[in-house]
Amino acid sequence: MLNRARHSLFDRYLGISRLLAGQLDFHAIIQAVAQEISHIIPHDHLDVCIKTIDAKYHIAYESGLDTAWSKQPPALLTGSPIRTLLAGDVDFLLSDDACADPRFHFDGAFSRPIIDLSLRSRLHVPLKVQGNIIGALSCSSHERGTYTMEDVECARSIADLLAPYFFALRAAEQAKRSAVVETEARAREEGLRLGALKLTEALEAERQRIGMDLHDQTLADLTRLSRRMERLAAQPDMHADVLEPLCRTLQQCMHDLRQIIEEAKPTVLQLFGVAEAIENHLDRSVRESGQPISWEVTDNSDGLLVGIDQTVAISLFRIVQEAVNNAIRHGQPDTILVRIRQAEQGQLSIEVIDDGCGVPAPGPVAESDRNGHGIDNMKTRARLISARLEISRGSGGTGTTVRLGMTRDLTSRAGGQP
Ligand SMILES: Nc1ncnc2c1ncn2[C@@H]1O[C@H](COP(=O)(O)OP(=O)(O)OP(=O)(O)O)[C@@H](O)[C@H]1O
Ligand SMILES: [Mg+2]
């Protein structure tokens, strides 16, 4: 007889185990197993409360009766009527009349559902995984004095069956939440990048507009002024010695302005492309430096730069422009090479190689020692078009190599994003 009872209890546990399989959320599990549990521990209300991973809050899932416990958002553990059990202070809670049991009613306890729904007999056991309490299983009955220590033992066995499943579900939910947070953060970062890229584009357009205005308006005015001054200086009653330096200063101003306009408006880039613009810049910069530097630009990009988006093209050009300027200004090199090529898997690679004195070794640089912004700007521009930028000593420790790599689709404005 006893054997038969044991057998049927064993069958019930197996039934619970079978019902667990394939259930993918807490609520579905409770609904699935509540009926089977009621054959082992009769109840009017059954709930499972699960602690959050930080062990500060808990969430309740219930069956049989709908109470405010499962309707509230994750609630503080300190307000739970079974906080002593959840904290591990007691091994179980058994009450013949929870409505009048002071253990469930204390200042700040959310025990109203016990009174509202007359949950008199109550029994609670912890859900444990590897000795850690992850929540609790609770059964309640409207009748007084329903449960005994034998029911507590049965509840412990059921809790042992449920706990690993709940533990895995909680971990999976946490991983899902983390993935969502990470995806959102990445989307925000990408949004910022695209916003900054748009801004760069607008700034570049504005820069070109100012360049054109300076050319059409200011340079034209200065040219007129210069002619008038030359005519004045030629008049016999004028002091040529006073006007002549003024004329020279004005010529210098116009020269500087032409330079600014040239800088502001990368016409060669727009008309002929990145490689030609780099060549044009190298030629002009080396000539103006007066240094005996030989240079070469090789383009083995196999058409990778054809149809490239204008913003990407301008960024690539400006980065190389600064690398070339740095090489001439700081390196005193004999040669400067710019190598444009298609690297592995269709990636674009641009290298600016000089054989000068070499960049200082990387290391902490005192704020007061950092004057230039060229390299910072190069890095920002590279980030905006999702390019990789490396600045290092050349092979053999001499000179400087600036290496720019792009993996994304160069023809799309955002560097590969649709
Ligand atoms: N090709 C190079 N050869 C030698 N030193 C270099 C080279 N490129 C950069 N450096 C060193 O790195 C420093 C930082 O360069 P960065 O372009 O950031 O500033 P800068 O050229 O001094 O000023 P800015 O570019 O703002 O006019 C330079 O001052 C120089 O010491
Ligand atoms: Mg610089």
pLDDT by residue (tens digit) across 14-37?
A: 888 888 877 778 888 898 899 999
Q: Nearest bound ligand to CA 331?
A: 1
130 or 94: which leads in pLDDT:
94
Distance 378 CA to ligand 2 centre (A): 9
Distance CA 400, CA 391 (A): 7
Average of per-residue pLDDT across 165-179: 85
Closest atom, ligand 1, to C-alpha of 325 = 21
With bands split at pLDDT 50, 70 and 90, how would you rate the model's confidence at 368?
very low
Minimal-distance CA residue to ligand 1 atom 26: 372
Q: Nearest bound ligand to CA 402?
A: 1
Q: Exposed (0-12), middle (13-18) or buried (19+): which is 173, by Cβ within 10 Å?
A: middle
Token pair recorded at residue 237:
């009653």
Minimal-distance CA residue to ligand 1 atom 23: 372
Task: Among 319, 330, 371, say which to mutate for ligand 1: greatest number of ligand atoms within 8 Å of CB.
Answer: 330
Residue pLDDT, tens place only, 135-150: 999 999 999 999 999 9
Closest atom, ligand 1, to C-alpha of 354 = 1
Residue 226 has pLDDT above 50, yes or no: yes
User: Which ranges of 327-396 does DSSP label H, i.e. alpha helix?
Assistant: 374-384
Average of per-residue pLDDT across 103-112: 94
pTM of the model: 0.52
**Residue-range domain boundaries for the chain:** 2-178, 179-265, 266-418
With bands split at pLDDT 50, 70 and 90, how would you rate the model's confidence at 410?
low
Residue 365 has pLDDT above 60, yes or no: no
Distance 55 CA to ligand 1 centre (A): 53
Token pair recorded at residue 190:
């990408």
Amino acid 409: pLDDT: 62
Q: Give the chain's mean pLDDT.
A: 86
Pocket of ligand 1 (CB under 6 A): 326-327, 329-331, 354, 356-360, 371-375, 400
The CATH code for residues 266-418 is 3.30.565.10
Superfamily of domain 2-178: GAF domain (3.30.450.40)
Sheet holding 400-406, edge to edge: 294-300, 335-342, 348-354, 400-406, 387-393
Distance 286 CA to ligand 1 centre (A): 17
In a 13 Å sphere around the CA of 292, the CA atoms on its Cβ side amount to 0
Minimal-distance CA residue to ligand 1 atom 12: 359
Distance CA 4, CA 11 (A): 10
Distance 392 CA to ligand 2 centre (A): 15
Distance CA 141, CA 36 (A): 16
Closest atom, ligand 1, to C-alpha of 373 = 26
